[in-house]
Chains A and B, each alone.
Chain A
């Protein structure tokens, strides 16, 4: 089973509902608390249907960057180092930066894809190198050998792993993780599972997040 645009839409909406916050910030489903990233909202294009996507805004206040050549994380995050932000709280100390994250449906590959943009609180965008060293990616998760200022290549894929493109709905410039590898792994996982119908669609998206979490650190949102 692969995704279609309508299945992606319903999976996202079901996902938001399952991993929602209540008004006072407590998760509805505590058991799934630590596993799946939450705080997403569903957004549509203002005039054209069928272009919906998940979005959230995350702010980081790292005091030091990770060092990739060490096995030990040297990144020291302050207590409230990671939080789901809204635009009002995005202003912070100058060594902080914000990350707009989007889960969109890739029309070419017919699978979800992670698009994001990251800016220092001064407004300047992070360079690709800064992005790969940011808390968004797990240490050692990204191959950095073939990095230019505009893309991160891998030897085993025709496509760059991380490169720039227009957000499919907003048209704004973003970085995105190439979706095809994730989809292959998710398909393998789904072949092992035994569920059908709408449950299966939601499981597909959950499995996709799990696979992505090997590379991407969506952050622990403990309360």
Chain B
């Protein structure tokens, strides 16, 4: 039985808007420009054509691009000798600014970190146009001290499943929701990502991802937050089951990671509701984790935000509720990734 004050319950309450944001997140893509390291192009390769452009889903992974990359290179760039020598298990990726690209990170995350680093180096007056992530594909000798081994699709799948289970654990203190899925269902999550099929992915993900459906079947008009939870959420008239059992506000903690430019990655407990009953907002999280970049108020140093938070590539509003973000804008692996972008000084 919870009664708490929340701003603007209506957008949170509608399941249609939940699906909308989940689909928007799913459909997000980023431009990649992939070229083979010129030093490694086999002799007799068709130079000048070795660049592959792809608008890749944010929720996908580099190892999943390898098959189409290989087809392209075989068709267009390599001759028969080179084609026979291809060993994609030795392939590895680097951005054009010399940073290794982690194959177990979602492509959207790689992209956001890349554009943040690029904008930090560039001047404040540089254009705001969208820049592709320029990737250098190396065909051999992966740096094994800096990259996880074996970037196969199988290893990538296991890394992904591990992240989903960790997210499950963070939310509920156990992994029952994930482990109670049948094997075919668990595989269906990864298949959904491989095939980039929203329905296939969410058919299973809906069983483990927190919901945003309220206790009452219809959403109240805005401004009636006080009446929103006057009925004890013990029985949902529609299903007869406790409606908020899987509710986004009932998790112990929202799976969140904060990525600072050039690292490190911060991860801490993020309860959906604070001790005084107020919903945890993005702004609150940032000012507690990074007070030197996000002061709690304008009267505390540094008196203004020195950075802005990117989630799925967009600047997220600080009033956004962490519980809602966890339910609607997490990546396909269940994690809300916040990339911190430093603002240029005026």
Contacts and interface: CB of A to CB of B under 8 A. Distances in A.
A78 B264 CA distance: 40
Interface string B133-164: 00000000000111111101011001100100
Contacts of A42: none
A159 B170 contact: no
B265 A172 contact: no
B264 A150 contact: no
B6 interface: no
A5 to B, nearest CB: 8
Interface residues of A, number: 31
Given A48-B266, A108-B166, A150 B145 contact: no
Contact of B267 (A108, A148, A163, A164): A108
9 contacts: A107-B268, A108-B166, A123-B145, A150-B152, A151-B155, A151-B158, A164-B155, A173-B148, A180-B169
Contact of A125 (B145, B165, B170, B260): B145
Contact of A48 (B102, B162, B260): B260
A150 B265 contact: no
A169 B149 contact: no
A158 B264 contact: no
Contacts of B166: 108
- Determine the main DSSP class of A at the interface with B: loop
Nearest to A46: B264
B144 A168 contact: no
B270 to A, nearest CB: 11
A1 interface: no
Contact of A158 (B147, B165, B260, B266): B165
A173 B102 CA distance: 10
A124 B169 contact: no
Contacts of A211: none
A164 B165 CA distance: 15
B154 A148 contact: yes
Contacts of B158: 148, 150-151, 160, 163
B51 interface: no
Contacts of B267: 107-108, 168
Interface of A: 5, 45, 48, 51, 107-110, 117, 119, 123-125, 148-151, 158-160, 163-166, 168-173, 180
Contacts of A45: 264
A151 B155 CA distance: 8
B263 interface: yes
A124 B150 CA distance: 14
B178 to A, nearest CB: 6
Nearest to A124: B144
A149 B158 CA distance: 12
B120 interface: no
A110 B169 CA distance: 11
Given A124-B144, A150-B158, A166 B102 contact: yes
Nearest to B174: A158
B44 interface: no
Minimum-distance CB pairs A-B, first 3: A107-B267, A150-B155, A173-B148
B169 A125 contact: no
Interface in B164-191: 165-166, 169-170, 175, 178-179
Given A48-B266, A125-B144, A163 B149 contact: no
A165 B265 CA distance: 13
Nearest to B164: A158
A160 to B, nearest CB: 7
Contacts of B154: 148, 150
Contacts of A108: 166, 169-170, 267
A163 B169 CA distance: 18
A163 B162 contact: yes
A202 B152 CA distance: 41
Contact of B145 (A51, A107, A119, A171): A119
B50 to A, nearest CB: 28
